[in-house]
Each structure stands twice: as C-alpha cells, then as structure tokens.
Structure 1
Amino acid sequence: MRSSNPVFSRRGFSRDNGFAGFNAPQAGGPAAQQGNPYATGNPYAQPTNPYATATDPQVQGAPPAAPPQAGRMTIDDVVMRTGITLGTVVVGAAAAWIMALPLGLAIGCGLIAMVLGLVQAFKRKPSPPLILAYAAFEGLFLGALSGAINAQFAGAPMQAVLGTMAVFVGVLVAYKTRLIRVNQRFYRYVMGAAIGFVLLMAVNLLFAAFGGGDGLGFRSGGLGILFGIIGVVLGACFLALDFKQVEDGIAYGAPREESWLAAFGLTMTLVWIYLELLRLISILRGD
C-alpha cells in the first residue's frame, strides 16, 4: 500500500513530480526529489499533463485550484461514487445478516473480496463493476462476521459502526483545519508503522494457525487491546492520506474516472477501521 491503500499505489497528482501533492502548501515545504520512488511517471505532472490545456493555470505555473472542468474529477464525483460503493457494502452486509450466512461461506466471500481488491489495485484504470463486486463480497463477509459477533456481544457491531463514523468525522475535521498535516514525513512514519503492524499480525496468525490458541497473544487480552487501538489509529492516519490523495487529484486535474479509485480506497480504509473497532469492542466486552 503505497499510500493508504494499494488503489493509490501507482498514482500521484503532484505537479512537479513529487509524491501525491506533497509539494502543495499543506505539506509545509518542498518535496525531496532524491530517492523518491514516486518522483517519476506521474501522469498528471507538468509539462506532460495530458489533461491540461494551453490556458490551464497549472500550465502557466499558477497554484492548482481551479474551477471544475469537463471530464475532471470533482468532490461531488468522489462523494457520489463513495456513497455507491459503501451502499453496496451495506446492502451485502444486510443480506448476509438477514440470511445468517455461515461463517465458512463468509470467509470465502472475504477471500474473494481480497482477490478482487488486489486485481483492481494493479489495474491501470478503475473498473466500476470490479469495485462494486469487491464491495458486495466484502459486505457479505462483514455482515456474517458482524452477525456472529452480535450473537455473542449484543450491540457490538452498531458500536463499531458508530465508532467508525466518529473516526471518519474526526479525521476529516482535523484534516480540514490542518491539525493533521500530510507530508512526506507523515507518510513515511505511517507506512513504517503499518508495515510493522501487518507483519506482526501475520506472524501472530501463523502461530495461531499452526500452534493453536491465540498465537503470540497480539489479538487477545491486554496486548489485543493495545494492538486494537494501534490498528484504529493507523486507520485514522490512512484516512488522512486518502483525503490528501482526493484533494490532490481534484487540484491537479485527475480524470473523472479516478473518483472510482478514490471511493475504492476510502471504502477499504473504512472497512479496516470497522474491523479493528469490532475486534477491540469484542475484547473489551469479553473481559
């Protein structure tokens, strides 16, 4: 996941070949050019921006900003596509909950969703049917898992949903008021923490699969609570990175189809946060 989500890993919207607009005013300084793996190949970088026109203020060196132009991504596009994608997840979850989908089938749906997500992440262009199929299978997995946890800890899924909404709103407010400043340092710290987190969870899963029990104990008891909190904090940081990607995509003239990728990335991050909160609430209520 080169940004907060693999969906953005091969895209950047910086005008002067920095990563994802980290040269924009919010970043607080010029982007490093040496050793930056994202410093080349930017399809929206000047002077080779295929979406720019001779009168485009970006071509003349003015700050990005500009009024929406036909065929370019707008915030309305992102909101609408995100609503459609999240709506598909909710419909799938509701169907799995009502039908009491067995956990075995739910895990299968989760694996299918993961494969579809990886396929979309490595595609050069977004595929709305693929993204919506991912959302549908992810919804089936979440619905069945939530139903099973609700049977043991009544109300836990609703608490996780409310918590996810609170994290989203909190990060959005913090980002818009510049309490959170997304720059290259922020990105490096977040991705370093995320890689360490994922590796630890993978090791814990392997020990649990072959040794039984809770593996190394990273997902239960006191350590489970600690790592649950870390997972939620990482999800919040990923949201900030997502918001930056969306902001830069709009500012630097990404094509409208990129709004599907923005919706896909935001959905993946929100699913992450929901699952971490659901696990954390289950641990807290089980103690």
Structure 2
Amino acid sequence: MASNPAFNRLSKDAQQGYAGFRTGGPQGGSGATHGTTDQLSAQQLQDMYSAPSAVRPGTDRAVTMDDVVMKTLTLFAIVLVMGAVGWGVAAANDGLGLLLWMGGMVATLVLGLVIAFKKTLSVPLIVGYAVVEGLFIGAVSQFFAAYFDPPNTPAFQGIVAQAVLATVATFAGMFIAYKTGLIKVTAKFRRIVTMMVFGYAIFAVVNFGYAVWTNTAFGIGGTGMLGVGISLFAVGLAAVTLALDFDAIDYAIRTGAPQKYSWLLAHGLIVTLVWLYIEFLRLFARLRE
C-alpha cells in the first residue's frame, strides 16, 4: 500500500463497507457496516482483515485474483504498446523524445495523485495513466540505450534488456518470498516501508533539481560508489514495495472489495514495476559509466 497512496483508500473503504459492500454481517461477525467503523477496536479490524468476505445479495461480485491478473495484463499490454510508440518517436526525433520524457514524468505524477485521491475510482483515468506511462517509459528506455549501449550492441545484450530481465527476476523472487512467508507484511513493516518511500521520493525531487542545476546525468553521487549505493538502495526499496502490493491484493480479496477495485490493484502493481525497472536502468547505467 505504501507504493501507491490509492491503496490507503482501499483500506479505508474496506472498513466502511466499500460504499455498498460489507464484510460479514449478523451471522458472519467478520466486519462492520458503514457508520460503525470508527467504533471498532484494533483487534476487530484485524479479525475483519483475516475473515472470509461476504457480499450482500444484489451487489456486484467481489474482486478475485483472476480479475487482478487480467487487469494487470491489460494495463501491462497498454504500457508495452505505448512504450514501443515512445521509443520510435524518441529514436526519430530527440526533441520529441525529450518532450515525452519530461512531459510524461509530470503527467504521470499529476494523474497518479488524481487517481489516488479522487473520491470515486475512475477506470478511464487508470487506462490513461498507462498510456502516458508507456510513452514515458519508451522515451526513457531509448535514451538509455542510445547513450549507454556500445555501438552495434545486440538488443538482448543491451541495457534495456538487462533491466527488463532484472525486473522480471526480482518480481518473481519477491512473489515467491511473499507467498512462502519468507516476507511477512505487518502493520509495522508497512509503516517503515511507507516512511522510506516518502523519504526517497523527497530525495528524488531534490536530486533531480541538483542534476539539472549541475548538469550531471545522475545527480548526487554520480557514477561513483555513493551513486551506485543510492541506486542499490532504490532497487531494494522498490523490490520490497512489491510485497506491499501483493498484500494489498490479498487484503482486497479478503475484505470483499468490488470487482472494479481490480483496476486499482493492477494500477498499483504496474506503478511499482515501472519504478523498479527505472531504478535498474539507472543502476546499470551507473555501473557502465
């Protein structure tokens, strides 16, 4: 939940009954209806989290793992297609590529905040975010390939292919670690990761300003040991955040979130994966320098 502020609303809506949904009931005893949540104890909220979900008759069905997987694949496909477009535009025109890079960075930030804090869940906004994110990723990837791959480097040996492979491997490793219980997401764990993510976000903004001011590629640390250490920390933080995303999916399924929330869960997962991919690109670029 720390990787995407929208998941805070997921938790809040679960406690309030998802505005038409509720977990448990008089017989189930696993949750509370809207209006009584504020009176629940911490133990009751934990019981609600752990208990099976129950959806009222006549409402839309609750989210399932299949829903989340399908929505994630849909958004991932959009990112890939638009990424190819962004790559082609950046390769053909450096100016337009830079526009996609900088404009995409600002647009994803604005859209991300709107999605996170909008009172109602908007699927078109989530899809639009994937479109913009794909264009941004395509332009960024083309830049890294152009500047950090030696001439005539085969595509499968390029920095982009290495970053993709590292991202997929990290995702698989974190998923196995989470499912086997090697990594347990507790309230304390979530708070710590949340603070670290917010702290790194502040650092990233400061570092971007420093990089622009000093006209350096990576900002603080450059390509030295400090810079490599910063990139390793960022990769580790993004990887750990995946566990929070997996936990958010389990939480939504347990509390009987409406099927529409699968779009929100998929969005959060894609956001973290793209962040992880960008950090791998930066790490490998620093190592090549």
* TM-score bracket, shorter-length normalisation: 0.7 to 0.9
Segments of 5+ residues of structure 1 without an aligned counterpart are 16-41
- Which of 110, 114, 121 is the matching residue for 1:115? 110
Q: Percent identity between the aligned chains? A: 38
Q: Could you tell which deviates more after superposition, 56-65 or 159-168?
A: 56-65
Segments of 5+ residues of structure 2 without an aligned counterpart are 33-46, 150-157
1:157-180 Cα offsets, whole Å, 9 max, x none, are 111111111111100000000000
More helix by share: 2
- Which of 41, 52, 76 is the matching residue for 1:65? 52
- Which of 203, 225, 229 is the matching residue for 2:228? 225
User: What is the total number of aligned residue pairs between the two structures?
Assistant: 257
**Does the CA contact (< 8 Å) of 1:201 and 1:218 recur in 2?**
no
Q: Give the distance between the partners of 1:130 and 1:65, measured in 2 at CA.
A: 31
Q: Provide TM-score, normalisation by structure 2.
A: 0.80
1:24 alignment partner in structure 2:
none
Q: Provide TM-score, normalisation by structure 1.
A: 0.80
- Which of 166, 189, 212 is the matching residue for 2:192? 189
Residues 1:13 and 1:237: Cα distance change in structure 2 (over 3 Å)? farther
Q: Give the distance between the partners of 2:135 and 2:208, measured in 1 at CA.
A: 22
Q: Which amino acid aligns with 1:43?
A: Q
**Does the CA contact (< 8 Å) of 1:7 and 1:120 recur in 2?**
yes
Structure 1 residue 196: Cα displacement: 2.5
- Which of 67, 78, 81 is the matching residue for 2:71? 81
Q: Could you tell which deviates more after superposition, 181-190 or 243-252?
A: 181-190
**Does the CA contact (< 8 Å) of 2:21 and 2:55 recur in 1?**
no
**Matching of residues 1-287 of structure 1 within 5 Å:** 3-12=2-11, 42-44=15-17, 50=22, 52=24, 56=28, 58=30, 63-65=50-52, 71-99=61-89, 100=91, 102-106=96-100, 107-154=102-149, 155-213=158-216, 217-286=220-289
Q: Which amino acid aligns with 1:161?
A: V
Residues 1:257 and 1:228: Cα distance change in structure 2 (over 3 Å)? same
**Does the CA contact (< 8 Å) of 2:22 and 2:54 recur in 1?**
no
